Every structure is written in C-alpha cells, then in structure tokens.
Structure 1
C-alpha cells in the first residue's frame, strides 16, 4: 500500500497542478481539485505508514482545501458557466444580437483579416458609465508571457466570432500598434484606421 500511495501521490499532485494552472474553464479546474484530493489522500497514507506527522497534518488540511475547490469549481462556477452558455446559445437563435460571456474574453484568439491567429485576448476594460466595453487587450509574440507585447484595440474595431475576435489587421499591423505597458493599461484605445 505504501508503494502504491508513494507513486499515486506525486503523480496526482503534478497532474492536478497542470490542470488547475492551465485555467481551461471551471470543469477542468474542478476536476483538477478532484485529482489534488486523490494526491493529498495518497500523501496522507504515506505519512501514516512512515510516521510523518507533519506530512499528515499538511495533507489533511490540503484535503479540506481541495474539497472547497471541488465545491467552488464543479458546483458554483460550473453552474454559472452553464447559465452563461445557455444564454449564449439562446441568443444565437433569436433575432436579437448574439451574446457571449464576458468571462470568456481572456484566452480567446485574435484573428487577423486573413483568418490567421495573430494574438491572444488577455482582458478588456469597460466604461463605468453604461458598462460599454472600451477596448480589448491583446498579447502577441513571445512564449508563455516572456517577450510578449501588449496592444489595446478599440472594441468598436473588432467583431466577436465563435473562434475569437476578428480585427482588420494582419500580424504586422498588430505589431505596429502602440505597445502597452503591462502595468499601465491605457484609459482608452485609439481607433484602428482600416
């Protein structure tokens, strides 16, 4: 039993860490906490068998934290995500403008005029008066956040599609936009000259 738990514990912990760090939505994050729970229980077994009280206490506490994560991400957040998806689906079958969940902005592709992905949306800023979205923040270049450049694109200059945000630019046009400091986003974005 000790050998099996000794293998399950680190493997489950590593897989769960990747699942939650990837931020692939509420369900994947929730299942990441399920896998974390398996890992913390396996670590607790290792702690009991080897007489390591500190490891047992730490993983007993982590099991409780993981159960809260399961409740939050597979319960509450998944329910909210399902509600948003239902509204999106219903809006696409009606004559009114289609909707999309604001929580889905970050991570969506930014698609250039030729249909190629030229960047990734990382967030947006909305106006306090009226709630209109002012601009989309886009990252391009770099790998894993290192060396990437940020640009603000006025919301009025893009179109929302299932695949992502379509902009009237190519990769060179996006790179030519003013670069934004990651710690000092602008108060507004300039319109793109088509």
Structure 2
C-alpha cells in the first residue's frame, strides 16, 4: 500500500522510484513465501512482478531522475546567472499561479506550444475544487503570463481571470484567445 501511494502520488522521480523499490521488496518476499509453500503460481507471478519493478526502478531512479536532475541544475544555474531564468517545460504542470496582486489563482495544468514558432500560445490553469474534483479550467494567453522558475504570474486581477471562458474536458481551443476577444 505504501508503494502504491508513492507511485500514484507522482511526487517526482525519486519518490516514484523508491516506490518501485518497496514493490520489489514485496514481490521478492512473496516469491519466498511461494517457494517455501510450493505455490508455483505465486512464485511465477511475483517473479514477473520483480522484473516489472526492476524496469520501474531503472526508469525512475535511473533515467528519469537524471533528466530531472539535469533540468534542476539548469534552473539553478540560470537563477545564479545574468541570463534569463529558465524552468523546465515539463515543470509547468503543477506550478502555482497567482494574479498580478499575488492572490492564488490555482495551478498550471499544461502549456500549449505553437508548432511554427515554438512559443507558448496559452497555459491551461485549474482553479477551485479539491484534488481535481470540481475544478475549473481556463486558457490564459501567453501575453498575460509572467513566467518565473517557481510560479506563473497572470498579469491581470482575479476578476479578469475569472471572466475567461471555462474549458470543457477534452475540448481545448486551437489557439489562445486574444485580448480583444476577452474584453468584448
């Protein structure tokens, strides 16, 4: 149960990877129980689960952890340099979002990138609700957003943010709304 919570919580590569380590310990223990009690099916099932868990350990404590560490090192280096501050594109999801006065608006769900330019078109922001239940999604155009390494700041007050149209699941716009459309 602990391993399931560690992997389901999606708290980063290290936590997920250690969740697979806990799963591996469990599957090895169950294999031992199967061997000592002559339960071939229990041994076979848990031998396979040990293999699957090994792949999870390799992916999350090896490869994915290295990617996260590389991204974090670039963020740290850019914060110490005179260059513009960087953040990872995958780091947008889950970033805190505040309005121009610092009031909490919610969290970023996804950034949509224009293929032709490689620039952010808009960011989908979730507000309200608890744990994804009863939350409201809105598309915020890139020119309303100031990007920081630890949060996004929407350059309007909360009232203007709340006037943005709500998005329905699976039906996001093909392009960001423009300012004149939003103020009409």
Per-residue deviation, 1:73: 0.9
Partner of 2:128: 141
Partner of 1:164: 151
Per-residue deviation, 1:39: 1.7
Per-residue deviation, 1:24: 1.1
Structure 1 residue ranges without an equivalent (≥5): 1-13
Partner of 2:176: 189
Partner of 1:96: 83
Taking structure 1 as reference, are residues 126 and 57 closer, same or farther at Cα in structure 2, changes over 3 Å only? same
Per-residue deviation, 1:172: 4.5
Structure 2 residue ranges without an equivalent (≥5): none
- Range with bigger deviation, 169-178 or 20-29: 169-178
Per-residue CA deviation, residues 68-123 of structure 1 (Å, 9 max, x unaligned), is 11111111111111111111122222222111111111111111233232211111
Alignment TM-score, normalising by the size of structure 2: 0.88
Residue 180 (structure 1) aligned to one of 145, 157, 167: 167
Q: What is the RMSD of the two structures over their aligned residues, measured on CA atoms?
A: 2.0
Taking structure 1 as reference, are residues 144 and 52 closer, same or farther at Cα in structure 2, changes over 3 Å only? farther
Question: 2 CA distance for matches of 1:54 and 1:61?
Answer: 11
Written as runs of structure 1 = structure 2, the 5 A alignment for 1:52-67 is 52-67=39-54
Residue 132 (structure 1) aligned to one of 109, 119, 122: 119
Number of equivalent positions: 181
Per-residue deviation, 1:171: 4.5
- Range with bigger deviation, 121-130 or 109-118: 109-118
Answer whether contact 2:4 2:19 (CA < 8 A) is retained: yes
